[in-house]
């Protein structure tokens, strides 16, 4: 059968110098003395055909192409050709199979290198993604801390503002209570009206409901507040209060106290006088 005229990409216009590496059963073309020339040629043809078929099948199996199958399907019959022509044809066929195998190996090497590059590229991409994720998490953590710090700062400012307003309200209430305290004492000293426990201006911000409601701490906070009498020292304030609340001095006002509240008022006056003496001696912490 004539050979296919399809152009082979492995051939060039210029004659290719082919390796003269000895091929099995090709260069040893001298028939043994034990066999006739025709028998020996037939055996060589059969063995070469089997060898090339195995080679082509292996290449076709590995590459998945139809090149090897195309070679196998050819009719390897060189009947009627002399030994030199048969040798030339065998060399061309084996050379073509060899070049196709080399091309397949080059392609496989290229695929292997491409696969390695893809693995490396994937690794680099994963590392970059991981780096970006770490950077994003770090930024989020910084932002979270900033928000927490801002909330804490605002909370502290709100508490400080609330404390300031509360102190202002307390100071205003203390100042008003002191003014009322002084006015009521002035009224008591300039009138002769009857007195009761509720009408007496006790030295406290919140009026006591009974003698047991009077405490040294409340008296100290009221008398020594910085919202009034800033021209007097704490000691001077205590001494002035003692001049009002000492039992001997307050005794002149007891005559105006209602009879049924006399005992309660005397008890309350005694508590106030005792607290003032303790403040003067330093036994009670001054506010």
77 is a domain residue: yes
What's residue 19's pLDDT? 47
> Is residue 234 domain-resident?
yes
Domain-ending residue, one of 118, 143, 163 = 118
Number of compact structural domains in the chain:
2
Residue 196 inside a domain? The answer is yes
The torsion region of residue 22 among left (phi > 0), alpha (psi -120 to 50) and beta comes to beta
**What is the residue range of 264's domain?**
192-281
Q: Which residue pairs from 44-50 have beta carbons closer than 8 angstroms and sit at least 24 positions apart in sequence?
A: 45/76, 45/78, 45/86, 48/76, 48/90, 49/76
Rounded CA gap, 46 and 208, in Å?
131
User: Tens digit of pLDDT for each residue in 228-271?
Assistant: 988 999 999 999 999 999 988 898 899 999 999 999 999 999 99
- Name the band, by pLDDT with cuts 50, 70 and 90, for residue 16: very low
Q: What is the pLDDT of residues 100-141, one digit of tens each?
A: 888 988 999 999 999 999 999 999 999 999 999 999 999 999
Q: At what angle do helices 247-254 and 262-281 cross, to 10 degrees?
A: 160
* Domain termination residue (choose one: 118, 136, 160): 118
Domain boundary residue, one of 89, 118, 147:
118
- Does any domain span residue 30? no
From CA 31, how far away is CA 39, in angstroms rounded?
9
pLDDT (0 to 100) of residue 141: 96
- Does residue 131 fall inside a structural domain? no
Q: What is the pTM of this model?
A: 0.49
Residue 266's Cβ-count burial label (10 Å; 0-12, 13-18, 19+) is middle
Question: Taking CA 76 as the corner, what is the angle to CA 51 and CA 68, rounded to the nearest 5 degrees?
Answer: 60
- Tell whether 230 is covered by a domain: yes
Region 269-284 average pLDDT: 87
């Amino acid at each position: 059968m004539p050979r296919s005229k399809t152009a082979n990409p492995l051939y060039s216009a210029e004659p290719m110098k082919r390796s003269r590496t000895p091929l099995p059963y090709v260069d040893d073309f001298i028939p043994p003395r034990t066999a006739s020339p025709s028998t020996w040629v037939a055996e060589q043809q059969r063995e070469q055909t089997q060898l090339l078929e195995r080679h082509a099948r292996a290449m076709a199996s590995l590459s998945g192409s139809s090149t090897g199958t195309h070679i196998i399907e050819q009719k390897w019959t060189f009947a009627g050709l002399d030994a030199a022509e048969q040798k030339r044809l065998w060399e061309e066929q084996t050379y073509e199979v060899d070049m196709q195998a080399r091309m397949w190996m080059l392609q496989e090497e290229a695929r292997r290198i491409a696969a390695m590059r893809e693995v490396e590229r994937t690794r680099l991409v994963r590392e970059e993604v991981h780096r970006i994720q770490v950077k994003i998490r770090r930024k989020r953590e910084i932002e979270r801390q900033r928000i927490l710090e801002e909330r804490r700062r605002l909370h502290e400012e709100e508490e400080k503002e609330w404390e300031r307003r509360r102190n202002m309200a307390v100071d205003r209430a203390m100042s008003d209570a002191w003014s009322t305290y002084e006015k009521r004492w002035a009224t008591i000293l300039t009138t002769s009206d009857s007195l009761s426990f509720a009408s007496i201006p006790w030295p406290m911000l919140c009026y006591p409901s009974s003698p047991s409601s009077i405490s040294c701490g409340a008296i100290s906070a009221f008398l020594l507040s910085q919202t009034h009498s800033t021209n007097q020292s704490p000691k001077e304030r205590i001494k002035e209060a003692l001049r009002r609340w000492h039992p001997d001095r307050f005794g002149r006002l007891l005559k105006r106290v209602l009879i049924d509240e006399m005992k309660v008022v005397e008890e309350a006056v005694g508590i106030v006088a005792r607290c003032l003496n303790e403040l003067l001696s330093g036994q009670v912490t001054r506010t």
